[in-house]
Structure 1
Amino acid sequence: MSADVFLVFDILLLVGLPYTTLLASFLHYLIFSFAIMGLGVLDNHKLEHVPGTVFLNDAGSLDLDIAVETANHLAAGLKHDKSIILIPQPSDYPEDPLNWSKWRKELFTAAFIFSCGAVGAVGPLLSTAAVPLAEGYHSSIGTFTSKYNGVLLGCVAISSLLSNSLALEIFWGAASTSLSSLTGSRALTGLGVGPWEALIPASIADVWFVHQRGFRIALFNLGIFGGINLNSPIAGAIIQNYGWRVCSYAMAGAFVLQTILVFLFMPETAYHRAEVLNLDTASRDNLPDAAQELKEEKAEHVEMTPGNGNTGGKKVGQSKKVFPSFKQMLPWSGYSHEVNLFWITLRPFRLVTSVAIVYGIVIFTTAISWLVMIAITISLIFSSPPYNFTVAQVGLTNLSGFVASVLGTLVAQPLSDGLAVYMSKRNQGVYEPEFRLPIVLSYFLFTGVGFFVWGEASYRQEPWPVPVIVGLGMINFGIQLSTTGVLAYMVDSHRELAGESFALLGFVSKTFAMGLAFYISDWLLTSGIRNAFFTLGGITTGLTLLTIPMYIFGKRLRSWHHVHFPIH
């Protein structure tokens, strides 16, 4: 066994053992909890029904009476997929996004994966050439990265709340002749790409049922993180062979393609659905009424909100259309709802009172910031001795992160949706959003440990496969899994406020990443690689431990928020 492998085992034992012991105790708690109702999630005694908690599976029941009652509900008309009750219940109209055909849903998914990939790539677009570009603009590496990335991230934070324009301002950046001009183009680009991180997860909640969302959120993450990681090898090769301006023009071309995909495959997903269909936000005691009302309304006309794309008027089943109509593709044909722009902009900030949302924001913000930090500093590390990588070689180092993200996406299906459904069955059919949280433990097991490996290997100047394949691979694998868990938890806890939740998430994460961009290069130079990345590993580990109380007390915290801050 090589010395490099021993290095990894040493780090795992010396640094990870105390935390691993604590996490092992939590896993033991989970296993023991499988024998009791709730699976370790403490029940709430103040509300009959806590929003987010749903009866998902008819394979189990709380008691015999509920088992019989549930079977009657299914027979009365509640739609289900085999033994899984569909949450929320779809209406009987084809333009309800829940009724879209499988092909239409998957084309929508493919379109947002590409779009999110473009959004993820635009941040670290020229990071592989940061050192030569800083020299070309007669600037220090710290000043260049703070202006090039910091201004972009700041504008993305603002646009998460306000803007929905497209990022074709990259053409300006490609033609810029000064650092100030390049910085200005990045600011406008940030205003264009910001809303994507807020709108796509909310759209996933509109299109997919609760037992299907985890994998689609993993695909959203793959788009964002894959764009960050896959950008570097592609951009590095283009920059080395054709120059950074050609790379910027190619990025602008990708956004032109993105615009076409949005026009063709991504119509409005917001839909005015009868409240009785929202079984996750209504009381479980309303289940009999919901089934009866669904049965009575099957052949009735339900008046729909104008402009939402619903034809109404006659009873229909699941839509067989693959493509939206031309009318639905028009930019002004979306969901119509009278709101005050000023108050709707401030509405996301009310969610700071939700512990579930704050927890998710903290985990996701640090995860995305760590990736931004790696993208910013990777040129500084591998362009210097002993590696002396070319621009193209620096870009290729991120391939390990992309491969790890793909692997994380593949296992997200059984570890997110599959585990949630399995735990619901063990919980006598009752689904709790907290069942999404066990997967978040990967944030320490892979990302935290990966930072320790990355920092120690870089400090010892180990051969590049150790920091690149092992370190970066573990970091990205853990981030892909953990963020899938927290985003699904946020959606399932507050589906009715998913848009606002992710608007706040985008604002906070990009503001934090912007601050990081302004000092990260100088911090790395003054503190040293080892100390800097060990610090990140420690922060990651500490934040992961928050998952334990969130799993145990999460339902009571959701109840507290609903009682004191009801949604109107």
Structure 2
Amino acid sequence: MPLGILEDHKLEHVPGTAPLNELGRNDLEIDHEIDRNLLKHDPTGQIVLVPQPSDSPNDPYNWSRWKKELFTVVIAYGCGCVGAVGPLLTPAFVPLAEQFDVPLQRFTLGCNGSCIVAIAASSLICNTLAVKIGKRPIYLATTLGLAVSCFWAAEVKSFGSLAGARTLQGFCMRGFRAAIFNLGVLGGINLAGPIAGSVIQYGSYRIAMHTMGVAFVIMLLLVIFFMPESAYHRRGALNIDTSDKQMATDNLDKKSFEKSSIQEIEARPTSTTSPEPRLSWKQELLPWSGYFDHVSFWRTFLRPFVVIASPVVLWATLLFTTCISWLVLISITLSQIFSAPPYNFSVSAVGATNVSSFVASVIGTLAAGPLIDGVVKLMSKRNRGIFEPEFRLPVMLTYLVFTATGFFAWGQSLYQEQPWPVPVIVCMGMINLGVQLGTSAVVTYVCDSHREQSAEAFAIMNFIKNMFAFGLTFYVNDWIVQQGVRDCFFAIGGITIGCFLTTIPMYIFGKRARSWVFRYKVLDRVLKVQ
């Protein structure tokens, strides 16, 4: 039993389990029968690359460091813009509802609810299309759609037209969240309020939407020039973490591999020349690279619904849904809470309440990597150098300590009408810090447990999360009016604790769950071509 995790005795190697040295995996603990010279390492020569890249120069794993970093920066900027456009109008919900002459609950549903449900739908459609034809066409199309929808929303003359523009925005937002970066998304969400609040108060919401449109035009140019296609059919790369063997070879015929031994794999000569020519920069600028997956559209569309059968993904969906949806709930109630007595905040002041959330998200981002990796490093050393994905889960304690406590404090401070720094700085800061750390642990756990199905896992996680958040928009404003902020947020704090407690059995039985999914081919009937 590695540190409380129940061991599995049915597989030689449970997918997800891997050797680890320092903060990266290495080959020091890999079976002694495997020729270590076959494995590809990082530039230091000490850390084995997981997953293993192929020999092709066009494999994104083989891109130069500057190309990868620039791609990451562009994605982070895009995630920030996407995170910002969703809650852009929330500081002004009360005055905007009056301007369009609709009740606050209906305005929330039409302005944010339509956006959220469109994100849920596109999380499946965009994921399917990205798998079929590659990610670059989706990035280009959704960025263009976001720019157009922002300019449309800026010029609407009716509430129905505004709801339509927000629906298009929601559909296009999912295109960038396929590779979610927590700081980009949460940072955009939290910075949108302070900036947009001032713009709306001293200008108009139309100026705010026009500004977002310009931001997405810039994003479109960045995508065109600095985001080449990252989907790639990887063949012949050694697989040392997702197979039930110590080492296998990706995309080889299954029967052929079953007849091969490790020694036969070692005997294969390593290629000294690239199997395909390197793509030129002009070729990478094409809207579509020619990438195509031959699996049927409907099989691809159904993949996310099958992945939820994994206990790991099911648990992650529960935690991810509550983590992010609570932030949505807070954002759509800020104007309702702080525009009213005793606070009587202006639109810009309501927007400024998100500054503490942004600061907490930055702190959480800076702390998440060292904290999660530090725990993993410590636990792996105590586990004879073997990494288990469940070692990511102890960090979920921070979600309990900060987020659950923050909600109880938030409800109580608002009920007692305490000075605004208490709910705004202390409580919202705690909530966002816990969410940032919690979502980081959840995301990395899913990636480590189901690397090959991570895209489908995040698609279903986002779909369910957004459908849940969409449901919140139907009643949350009226819920606060009828039951009061204390009862409302005490209930949310209790739900947060209940969801966290499921982490305990997930940690204990996680390895057996991963083994069960692999042994019974729970995902393969739909996820793999037979």
**TM-score, normalising length: structure 2:** 0.88
Matched, 1:191 2:176: no
Kindly state the Cα deviation for residue 76 of structure 1 after the two structures are TM-superposed. 4.8
Q: 2:282 aligns with which of 313, 322, 326?
A: 326
Q: Which residue of 2 aligns with 1:234?
A: 195
- Output the amino acid matched with 1:264: F
Quote the residue 1:277 is aligned against: 238
The structural deviation recorded for 1:464 is: 0.5
Q: What is the CA–CA distance in structure 2 between the aligned matches of 1:158 and 1:293, rounded to whole Å?
A: 46
Which among 79, 84, 108 is matched to residue 41 of structure 2?
79
Deviation readout 1:449-479 (Å, 9 max, x if unpaired):
0101111000000001100111000000000
Q: Which residue of 2 aligns with 1:52?
A: 16
Q: Percent identity?
A: 48
Distance verdict in 2 for CA 1:462–1:290, change over 3 Å: farther
1:286-365 paired onto structure 2 within 5 Å: 286=247, 289=262, 293=266, 296-299=269-272, 302=275, 311=278, 325-333=281-289, 335-365=291-321
Contact 1:77 1:294 in 2 (8 A): no
Equivalents in 2 of 1:493, 1:402: separation in Å?
30
Alignment of structure 1 residues 2-401 onto 2, 5 Å: 38-57=2-21, 69-70=31-32, 73-80=35-42, 81=44, 83-163=46-126, 164=138, 165-166=141-142, 167=146, 168-197=148-177, 199-201=178-180, 220-286=181-247, 289=262, 293=266, 296-299=269-272, 302=275, 311=278, 325-333=281-289, 335-401=291-357
Contact 1:195 1:503 in 2 (8 A): no
Change (3 A) 1:391 1:279: same
Q: CA deviation at 1:283?
A: 3.4
Is the contact between residue 193 and residue 351 of structure 2 (CA under 8 Å) also seen in structure 1? yes
Deviation for aligned residue 1:432:
1.2
Question: d(CA) in 2 for partners of 1:401 and 1:71?
Answer: 52
The answer to whether the 8 A contact 1:58-1:85 is kept is no
Match of 2:405 in 1: 449
* Cα displacement (A) at 1:242: 1.0
Is the contact made by 1:60 and 1:428 (CA closer than 8 Å) also made in structure 2?
no
Distance 1:276 1:100 in 2: 16
Q: CA distance change for structure 1 residues 436 and 76 in 2, over 3 Å: closer, same or farther?
A: same
Query: Deviations for 1:280-305, whole angstroms, at most 9, x for unmatched residues?
Result: 11234337839954972232554x6x
Report the residue type matching 2:41 in the other structure: K
The answer (yes or no) to whether the contact 2:306–2:523 under 8 Å persists in 1 is no
Tell me which amino acid in the other structure corresponds to 1:483. Answer: T
The answer to whether structure 1 residue 556 and structure 2 residue 512 are counterparts is: yes
1:211-264 CA-to-partner distances (Å, cap 9, x unmatched) read xxxxxxxxx101111111100001001101110111111111111122122222
* Cα displacement (A) at 1:72: 6.5
Helix, strand or coil for the counterpart of 1:39?
Answer: helix
> Secondary structure, in 3 states, of the residue corresponding to 1:120?
helix
Partner deviation per Cα, 1:59-92 (whole Å, 9 max, x = no partner): 999xxx9859549633454425554322111223
Q: Structure 1 stretch 472-481 or stretch 498-507: which is displaced more?
A: 498-507
| 3-state SS of 2:308 partner | helix
Take 2:24 and 2:338, find their aligned partners in 1: how far apart are those partners?
Answer: 55
- Say whether 1:537 aligns with 2:500: no
Whether the 8 Å CA contact 2:24–2:48 is kept in 1: the answer is no
Which amino acid in 2 is paired with 1:46? K
Aligned positions, number: 493
Which residue does the alignment assign to 1:425?
A: 381
Q: Does 1:496 align with 2:452?
A: yes
Contact map agreement 1:60 1:426 (CA 8 A) in 2:
no
* Paired residues of 1:114 and 1:223 also in contact (CA < 8 A): yes
Deviation at 1:562, TM superposition (A): 1.4
Q: Which amino acid aligns with 2:229?
A: E
CA 1:275/1:484 → structure 2, altered by over 3 Å: closer, same or farther?
A: farther
Q: Are 1:76 and 1:292, in contact at CA under 8 Å, matched by a contact in 2?
A: no
CA RMSD of aligned residues (A): 2.4
- Consecutive unaligned residues in structure 2, runs of 5 or more: 127-137, 249-260
Contact 1:157 1:511 in 2 (8 A): yes
SS of residue paired to 2:35: helix
Shift of 1:514: 0.6
| Offset, 1:433 | 1.1
Q: After the TM superposition, which of the residue ranges 46-55 and 355-364 deviates more from structure 2?
A: 46-55
Amino acid at match of 1:381: I
Instruction: Quickly say closer, same or farther: Cα 1:145–1:92, change in 2 above 3 A.
Output: same
